[in-house]
Structure 1
Amino acid sequence: MIDQFLDYLRYERNRSELTVKRYEDSLTDFQKYFEEQEEGLSWTSVDADVIRGWMESLMERGNTASTVNTGLSALRSFFRFALARKMVNKDPAHMITGPKKRKPLPQFVKEEEINELLDKTEWSDEYKDVRARTIIITLYEAGLRRSELIGLNDSDVDFEAMQLKVTGKRNKQRIIPFGKELAEQLRQYIDCRDKKVAKQSEALFLNKKGSRISESEVYKTVKENLSKVTTLKKRSPHVLRHSFATAMLNHEAGLESVKKLLGHESLETTQIYTHTTFEQLKRVYKEAHPRD
């Protein structure tokens, strides 16, 4: 039966040999599994419970949800083929749902790494360095998206009220408070910028020609500087947004407050950071508990 199905994939469906091999491996593995479960089980007698048991065994062997779903897809295709040709009289796979793929947890820079970068790294008074430090502090202390940072204008910074007016997705605006450190850094940056750059734009962050800074410049700036203190593979501006959210929750900020600061529409989007902080909590426990 398996050979007939594989020939069907090759010659009638024109599937690649890679796909055929992947389906063959899944079907062979399933057959081996059900033959070990109960004497007399066959392709015509296996039911949904047997398939679920096989999927569980795949997970227990360390396979990812993606691999298990590929195996389930192979079974579905096989049983549809066999049912259409009356090789079996039922399709036990069609109502089974595969495991959900786990979304990767957001990566974040540790607080001590941020402190090392901002407090212990030598920064020159050149415009490029002053701007870089300001960008990093703004992203980290305000939790902005890259596009939101680029979109800031001078008029969006209210030093008297100590707040930023941020334009987010779908042009929705929100107000983000900031503290003394960011206020001082922004003042230093603006002073340096106005002395060294011929301003051609209302934008807060400018390139050397006086125009609004580009996405690539912001990305390059953040990546180069985060590389000094972290070994994370991802060192993008969004990592600093993740770091902001994680730091806020680690220091007992409420989930609803963090949601508003990030500009999330749904609390579910913000809740992923609670998983991040829990993972950090588990690491702290394992490192610190004397009996672990």
Structure 2
Amino acid sequence: MRLELGSPPEDGDLYNAFINALYAAGAGKGTIKMYSVAIREFLEFVKKDPRKVTSDDINRWIIELSSKAKDNRSRSVTMRYYVIAVRRFLKWLGINVKPVMPRAKRKEIKALSEEEIQKILASARTLRDKLIIKLLTETGMRANELLNINISDIDFNRKMIRLRVTKNGEERVVFFTDDTLDLMKKYLKIHDGEKLFQMTYPALYKAIRRLGEKVGINGLRPHMLRHSFATNAIRKGIPLPAVQRILGHKDIKTTQIYTHLILDDLEKAYREAFG
């Protein structure tokens, strides 16, 4: 669903008016943060009325961003998202520009095998940590979505969770297994509070990283467990559009990045068979 941002004001602070329009239209927190930073940095660079911006202004800014980036991948991804944000802002103002669109290099996707997931679960000493790993690897939810689950969002009979705080601001439903239901019931007997998990993102990140280090998986992070769910779901035969909906992707092209890992499986099987 494309956000309807209305019309810009005739005068005044156009930057703040645009950000307020994003809030009013229901844009996700991540989107608003990225747009805020990108547009603010661009306006500080160009130092002119945004209604007078040209494609060349944006191209010069891209070169400036490129010189500051720490590595090639982050440079390409950052520039692409920033240009998209600025172009959307200018289009809202009625300014039609066609700057260079930096090509984003494909992000390396790291996913765990089911065997590795079982090792991590075995290394978890608390019900909380076991439940976190089970939910992230069975639902593909994002870390922030996990941390915003209220117990009232869980349907224990149908074994599903309604995610109300999502990246794009749209609610969706994810499902979990009987094993996870049993684990959740045990956890809730010793847990008190409205939220399922009373912890911050840094605490979650550290807990998952420690679990990975126990079994020799360095650099384990929450999003890698999301990748693992997506990859294993496709391997098990869940149709790509269904995986897209479970993950909450707007565009199925985003979900398709996981298919190259499945192609790796096919190639390995072929090489083993034919040498």
TM range (shorter): 0.5 to 0.7
Report the counterpart of residue 183 of structure 1 in structure 2.
181
8 Å CA contact retained: 2:212, 2:219: no
Report the counterpart of residue 92 of structure 1 in structure 2.
none
Gap change, CA 1:175 and 1:101, over 3 Å in 2: closer
- Consecutive unaligned residues of structure 1, counting only runs of 5 or more, are 1-18, 20-64, 70-96, 207-212
Superposed counterparts of 1:73-92, under 5 Å: none
Residue 135 of structure 2 is aligned to residue 138 of structure 1: yes
Residue 232 of structure 2 is aligned to residue 247 of structure 1: yes
- Separation of aligned partners in 2, 1:122 and 1:265: 35
The one-letter amino acid paired with 2:201 is E
TM norm structure 2: 0.59
Residue 158 of structure 2 is aligned to residue 158 of structure 1: no
Gap change, CA 1:151 and 1:99, over 3 Å in 2: closer
TM norm structure 1: 0.56
Report the counterpart of residue 205 of structure 1 in structure 2.
197
Residue 238 of structure 2 is aligned to residue 256 of structure 1: no
Residue 119 of structure 2 is aligned to residue 116 of structure 1: yes
Report the counterpart of residue 31 of structure 1 in structure 2.
none
Q: CA deviation at 1:229?
A: 3.0
- Separation of aligned partners in 2, 1:158 and 1:271: 30
Residue 244 of structure 2 is aligned to residue 283 of structure 1: no
8 Å CA contact retained: 2:124, 2:211: no
8 Å CA contact retained: 1:114, 1:229: no
- Separation of aligned partners in 1, 2:222 and 2:148: 14
8 Å CA contact retained: 1:131, 1:189: yes
Match of 1:176, SS state, is strand
Gap change, CA 1:230 and 1:278, over 3 Å in 2: farther
Q: CA deviation at 1:226?
A: 2.0
CA RMSD of aligned residues (A): 2.6
Aligned counterpart for 1:217 among listed residues 203, 215, 226: 203
Report the counterpart of residue 106 of structure 2 in structure 1.
103
8 Å CA contact retained: 1:142, 1:176: yes
Gap change, CA 1:112 and 1:157, over 3 Å in 2: same
8 Å CA contact retained: 2:138, 2:175: no
The one-letter amino acid paired with 1:115 is Q
Gap change, CA 1:285 and 1:101, over 3 Å in 2: farther
- Separation of aligned partners in 1, 2:180 and 2:124: 16
- Separation of aligned partners in 2, 1:258 and 1:280: 19
- Separation of aligned partners in 1, 2:268 and 2:186: 38
Aligned counterpart for 1:272 among listed residues 250, 257, 270: 257
Structure showing greater radius of gyration is 1
Give the number of aligned pairs. Answer: 180
- Separation of aligned partners in 1, 2:111 and 2:210: 16
- Separation of aligned partners in 1, 2:123 and 2:105: 40
Question: In percent, how many aligned pairs have the same letter?
Answer: 31
